[in-house]
Every structure is written in C-alpha cells, then in structure tokens.
C-alpha cells in the first residue's frame, strides 16, 4: 500500500525549515503588535456569499479559484481565499466598531486557499500575515501600514523589494474613469471572457498579465487623470508622509490589485528576484467593503504579506536568518538511576525557561551523543552510575569540546549562568 501524500499544490512545513517561517511571521507581526494592533483569528471557512460580495463576483478568485462546497445541512461555504473580508465580518459581528475607539486595529496570521495552477511561489494553500485598520479615513493610517510592512521587511534584512503605489479613486471619480476605460476597451480585439469583464469590472482588464493584451493597452486612459480633487489631495498626503519617513516607493498608474473592494490608496510589495510571481504582498484602502457585506459605513485600510513569498525573497537575496537553537541542553543518561535523575533535571531546566531535551529510547553513549550533536544544543549533560555515586554530572561544551564535572545539585544554576553569558 502506498503512503499518502499532501494534496497537489500544497506543502508541509517541517523542521528545520519551519523555524524560518515562524521567524518571518514573527518579524512581520512585531511592528504591528508595537503599533496598537490586536490579534484576531477567524474560521478557515466562511459563507460563500461573504466572498462573492466582498471580494467581487467578477474576480478570478471567486469565479475560478475558490474552494466552495455545500455542507450536509445545505449551507454554502468556501475555504477562505483571503483575509480581509473574514476579519471585517468578525469585527462587525463582535461589535468592535461600537467600542468608540476607532480605528479598530487588528492583525492576523493563517492559511488561505485558492484553486490555481501550482508553480514556484504560488500554491493552493499559502500562509499570510495581515493587518487591518477599520473605521477611519486618514492618509496617516494608510502611510502607517505601508511603513510597518517596510519596517518588517527591513528587519528581516531584505533590501531588493520595491513598493508600488497608486490611487484607485472613490465613488465620485471612479465611475467617470470606468466609463472612459470601457469605451477604450470595447475598441480592442479581446477574447469573449475578457470582453465580459469589461462590463463587470473593466479595471481588472488592466491587470491582465498576457503580453497580447498588455500590448493593446498602450494608450489606455489613466486613472490618475480622472481623480477628483479630494482623491488627489488624499493621495498626495500619503506620498508626502512616506517620503518624510524615508520610505521609497514607485508611482505605478497601472496598479489595480486583484480584488474588487479597493478604493483610493492601493500598493504592492514586489521582489524582482522571484521571477513572474514577483508580488510578495500588498493591500490598500477599502472604504465601501463594510456596506457591501451588510455593515455600516466604515472606511478601512489593510494589507497581507505572503509568508511563503517572503521566504523565497530571503532565499533570492541569500539571507539566512539568525535563528536561536531549538535546544540549549541535551541530557544523556547512562543507566536507570541516571535516567531518573536527569529526567527530573531536564524538567527543572524547562521550568526555568531553558530549552532542554533528553535521550529517549535507551541509546548507548555514542548514539546519544550523535543525537545531542544533531539537536544543535550548546551543552550536553552526561551522567552514569559512577558519576552519580560521586554526586556529579559531566557537562560538555558542544562548541569547544571542553568537559567539566558539576555537582548534581548545582548544575541547573551553573547552566543558567553559562547560557546567560553565551
């Protein structure tokens, strides 16, 4: 009988590589936790209608990529393809917007699912860390989120990423642009599905990656030429705030992002070392989404950064994160009495906050020391019957190879001191 394998387009995170993914998540989350963002966790599946309304029925995500299913009870559900709609739904259901402390600032981390053609950097199950600031319309909030993402990437040591920035206008000026774009697109030689998109969401045509479509889009009307004064002013304030903080960005008038709910500020983080899948994350302002899913008017802004893509970006730049060893002390008992004594000492070390492991399975000294080596521990503690008869254990420094005898009763305190200095 053959063993089971992970479903196509998915991956397992296994040690030691998983430690890098955890470190990336933590690096992205740290500036958020330091800026008033509280953690939120939502179910892995939601009502299909939440995404159809929020993400947009004309998007590939809803049309082609969503894992939708009917439950035994007849409910229409979908595995979440993105985080914003779920987080906003949770905030509304929890009445967080009624606390009087707006914006509601939330961050989250989890797995998301899209049925698409698997390739490097694009999987059917992927991990993101995201942030949403709900209930305030303020250019400083848009700038804050972009700065926090920039800060997270720089903390990881990344240098070769770029920030693309654009404004999508609002409900006043976008309809005028939409009509002008539709007139232009209807004159092009496009396939039937793309022509259908012209009627539903013409901005998505600008996002088409096919060379034959992009060639025809030369000369298309630009959204920036149609922005109303209020949107121009708002966008200029965002740009000024970023510039004042030394955050470099590039104006990209063609940037539209793949979700229907964006308004005004939109941005993308791209890394040129990743080939065709160059986006590592992005986001923007979505002032009308709350009303789309049945809530009150709550202007909001947010982003999501791909953990998988960020790890690929680190690899592209040749960056190895300085990760702490999973184990600091490895205990090697030789004989039953040593097993009893050292097991108690390992438990004591762990209670003292020291990462400690134990040689299980009754291995001999040679096999147990191999395990100690593989664990990455700085120190190995070895004890046999003769050692215990003398009231000592042997402490071996795995880096220098030096060994010393320590009194059984003192070695936990000595180890704490040594590890503090290491």
What pLDDT, in 10s, does the model give residues 320-341? Answer: 999 888 899 999 999 999 999 9
Say how many C-beta atoms besides its own lie within 10 A of residue 87's C-beta: 25
DSSP codes of every residue in 329-346 = EEEEE-SHHHHHHHHHHH
Instruction: Look at residue 59 in the predicted model and tell me its pLDDT.
Output: 60
Alpha helices in 122-166 (DSSP H): 139-155
What pLDDT, in 10s, does the model give residues 63-103? Answer: 678 889 999 999 999 999 999 999 999 999 999 999 878 99
| CATH of 17-173+227-316 among 3.30.2130.30, 3.40.718.10, 3.40.30.10, 3.30.930.10 | 3.30.930.10
Residue 58: pLDDT above 60?
A: no
Q: Which residue has the higher pLDDT, 364 or 45?
A: 45
d(CA 280, CA 19) in angstroms, rounded, equals 19
Instruction: Look at residue 273 in the predicted model and tell me its pLDDT.
Output: 84
What pLDDT, in 10s, does the model give residues 259-276? Answer: 666 789 999 999 988 876
**Angle CA(122)–CA(123)–CA(128) in degrees, nearest 5?**
85
Q: What is the average per-residue pLDDT within 200-213?
A: 80
Asked if CATH classification 3.40.50.800 holds for the domain at 329-421, the reply, yes or no, is yes
Tokens of 400: 């220098």
User: Which residue, 24, 30, 22, 67, is CA-closest to 45?
Assistant: 67
- pTM strictly above 0.75: yes
Among 48-52, 130-134, 232-236, 354-358, the least confident range: 48-52
**Domain regions of the chain by residue span:** 17-173+227-316, 329-421
**Angle CA(21)–CA(398)–CA(362) in degrees, nearest 5?**
85
| Burial environment of residue 138 by CB neighbours within 10 A (0 to 12, 13 to 18, 19 or more) | middle
Q: What is the average per-residue pLDDT within 410-420?
A: 86
User: Which residue, 167, 129, 131, is CA-closest to 146?
Assistant: 131
* Beta-sheet strands, E only, within 234-378: 250-251, 263-271, 279-285, 300-306, 329-333, 356-358
Q: Are 160 and 271 a contacting pair, CB within 8 Å?
A: yes
What is the Cα gyration radius of the chain? 27
Instruction: Look at residue 260 in the predicted model and tell me its pLDDT.
Output: 61
d(CA 356, CA 369) in angstroms, rounded, equals 14
On average, the pLDDT of the chain sits at 90
Q: Are 382 and 371 a contacting pair, CB within 8 Å?
A: no
Residues 6+ apart with CB under 8 A from 419: 328, 329, 354, 378, 379
Q: How big, in percent rounded to 5, are the helix, strand and coil portions of the chain?
A: 40, 20, 40
Among 236-245, 259-268, 292-301, the least confident range: 259-268
Q: What is the average per-residue pLDDT within 32-42?
A: 97
Residue 1: pLDDT above 60?
A: no
Provide the edge-to-edge strand list for the sheet that holds 329-333.
356-358, 329-333, 379-383, 392-397, 403-407
Residue identified by tokens 């409900």 is 171
């Amino acid at each position: 009988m053959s063993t089971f394998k992970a479903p196509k387009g998915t991956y397992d995170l296994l040690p030691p590589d998983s430690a890098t993914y955890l470190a990336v998540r933590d690096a992205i989350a740290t500036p958020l936790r330091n800026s008033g963002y509280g953690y939120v966790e939502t179910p892995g599946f939601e009502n299909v209608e939440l995404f159809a309304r929020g993400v947009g029925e004309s998007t590939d995500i809803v049309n082609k990529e969503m894992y939708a299913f009917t439950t035994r009870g007849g409910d229409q559900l979908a595995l979440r393809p993105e985080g914003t709609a779920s987080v906003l739904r949770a905030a509304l259901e929890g009445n967080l917007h009624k606390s009087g402390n707006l914006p509601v600032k939330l961050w989250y981390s989890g797995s998301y699912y899209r049925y698409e053609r698997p390739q490097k950097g694009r999987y059917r199950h992927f991990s993101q860390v995201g942030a949403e600031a709900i209930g305030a319309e303020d250019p400083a909030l848009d700038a804050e989120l972009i700065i926090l993402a920039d800060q997270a990437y720089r903390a990881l040591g990344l240098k070769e990423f770029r920030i693309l920035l654009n404004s999508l206008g609002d409900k006043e000026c976008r309809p005028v642009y939409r009509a002008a774009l539709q007139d232009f697109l209807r004159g092009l030689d496009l396939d039937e599905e793309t022509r259908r998109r012209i009627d539903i969401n013409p901005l998505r045509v600008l996002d088409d990656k096919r060379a034959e479509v992009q060639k025809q889009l030369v000369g298309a009307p630009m959204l920036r030429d149609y922005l109303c004064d209020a949107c121009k002013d708002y966008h200029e304030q965002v740009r000024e705030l970023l510039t004042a903080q030394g955050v470099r960005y590039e104006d990209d008038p063609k940037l539209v992002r793949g979700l229907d709910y964006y308004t005004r500020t939109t941005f993308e983080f791209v890394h040129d070392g990743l080939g065709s899948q160059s986006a590592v994350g992005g986001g923007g302002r979505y002032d009308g989404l709350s009303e789309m899913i049945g809530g009150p008017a709550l202007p909001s802004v947010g982003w999501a950064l791909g953990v998988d893509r960020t790890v690929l970006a680190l690899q592209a730049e040749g960056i190895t994160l300085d990760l702490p060893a999973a184990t600091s002390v490895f205990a090697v008992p030789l004989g039953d009495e040593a097993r009893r004594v050292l097991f108690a000492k390992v438990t004591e070390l762990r209670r003292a906050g020291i990462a400690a492991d134990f040689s299980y399975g009754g291995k001999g000294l040679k096999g147990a020391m191999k395990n100690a080596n593989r664990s990455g521990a700085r120190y190995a503690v070895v004890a046999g019957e003769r050692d215990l008869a003398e009231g000592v254990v042997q402490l071996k420094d795995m880096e220098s190879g030096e060994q010393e005898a320590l009194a059984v009763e003192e070695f936990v305190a000595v180890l704490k001191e040594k590890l503090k200095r290491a």
